[in-house]
Amino acid sequence: MPEITTYNAVPDEPAVQRAWDALLATMSESPVFYTHQWARAVAGHLLVQPMVLVAKEGGQVVGIGAFAQLSKRSVGWLAHGTADYCDVLAAPGSQPLVLNAFLRELRRQGIDEVVLTNVPEHSPTVPAVHEAAKTAGFRVVGLVVGDCPVVRLGTGEARSALHKELTRKRRLKEKLSALRKLGSVELDCWRDAGALRAALPGFVRAHTERFEASGRQGPYSDPDKQQFLTSALEALAATGEARMFRLRLDETPLAWAIVFVTGKRWLWYMPTFAASHTRFSPGLLLLRMVIEAALADDQAEIVDLGMGDEDYKTRFANGVEHIRGYILTTSAARYAYLSARGGAARGLRRFPRLHGLVRSIVRRKPGS
């Protein structure tokens, strides 16, 4: 059984960070949400209490679990309120052993409930979780989390056909033509940390104005969340994984989106658009242009549209990736209660709705 070390902050030891990067490099899919840069941004700016577990065998790091305390006796993923995907990092073939070791350690520390949302269906965690939980003394309740629509770019003729299909979408062609009659339509893309930092206030302002127009509070109205995003983007710009796209008409911004690029996958994150130009569908036009940019990248194979079943995604998606979620509990009564209520939870989203839903599930008690 691996030896477990618990950190109450994201470790800043260079050796642990190198091991973290090395584990990511062994995974077939390693979204930015799994990185120590993302974990550090969350821990540094959002109101969470990190609980990072590091598993070692023979002095070598074989697994990392970035958790956060949801209450005195419950934990969830550290990134769960900000990420489309969350998972345990483990050396190839070690997922069942590492997951079991983490759950045993959490149990030893008095944790009796573990919330594991947003686990990709293809993750080794999925087939391992029930047995790992059982031998650690937990019962498992499955959550219906949702799906991530994707655009599979294909190769050769299929890739060319997709590009032609995009350019032939009649309604978008009409919208773009109407915009071009008003001025020059341009696509901006920023990649380096300084440019991203300079562009971010406009992105935040666009989010805020869009939500305020409908009487709602935007996801980045909180300065702490703005600082979180700034920190994450600057750190990921250094590794070449963060980009920001903006569609504009002359000098007027129309739509924004962050795109995370990791290997073959482009991930569409937190898009927004100007309510004043809704009739031109600027968000859809921006997404089309981002997909076209991905098609021009020989390494890109997938544009991931992120968690959620918004109608606009179905206009572009040609595939879907399923997401699993689990609540692990040591209580038989709690298990029965969550089986009836927690297992029906649908549509977990990015913060703050996901955070609120998970916390409400965790805090409910049988008979309350």
Q: What is the pLDDT of residue 359?
A: 44
Task: List, for residues 241-272, the tens digit of each pLDDT value.
Answer: 999 999 999 999 999 999 999 989 999 999 99
- Average the pLDDT over 61-74 and give the result: 96
Determine the pLDDT at residue 363.
Answer: 46
Radius of gyration, alpha carbons of the chain:
21
Compute φ and ψ for 164, nearest 5 degrees.
Answer: -65, -40
What number is the average pLDDT over the span 219-233? 93
CA triple 299-305-308, angle to 5 deg? 155
DSSP 50-63: EEEEEEEETTEEEE
Please state the rounded mean pLDDT for residues 200-210.
92
Q: Please state the pTM of the whole predicted model.
A: 0.90
Q: Hey, CA dihedral for 107, 109, 113, 114, is it positive or negative?
A: negative
* pLDDT the model gives residue 308: 86
* Nearest CA-CA partner of 346 in 357, 330, 336, 338: 357
Mean pLDDT (the chain, rounded):
90
For residue range 77-91, what is the model confidence (pLDDT) as tens digits? 999 889 999 999 999
**Does position 202 have pLDDT exceeding 90, yes or no?**
yes
CB 81 within 8 A of CB 46: yes
- Predicted confidence band at 327 (pLDDT cuts at 50, 70, 90)? very high
Q: Helix, strand or coil for residue 368?
A: coil
Domain ranges of the chain: 3-146+323-363, 154-300
Superfamily classification of domain 154-300: Gcn5-related N-acetyltransferase (GNAT) (3.40.630.30)
- At 343, is the pLDDT very low, low, confident or very high (cuts 50, 70, 90)? low
Q: What is the CATH number of domain 3-146+323-363?
A: 3.40.630.30
pLDDT for 181 beyond 80: yes
- Residues paired with 113 in a beta bridge: 74, 329
Residue 122 pLDDT level (bands cut at 50, 70, 90):
very high
Q: CATH topology of 3-146+323-363 equal to that of 154-300?
A: yes
For helices 170-180 and 282-295, angle between their N-to-C axes, nearest 10 degrees: 110
Q: Is the pLDDT score of 14 beyond 60?
A: yes
Query: pLDDT at residue 195 above 90?
Result: yes
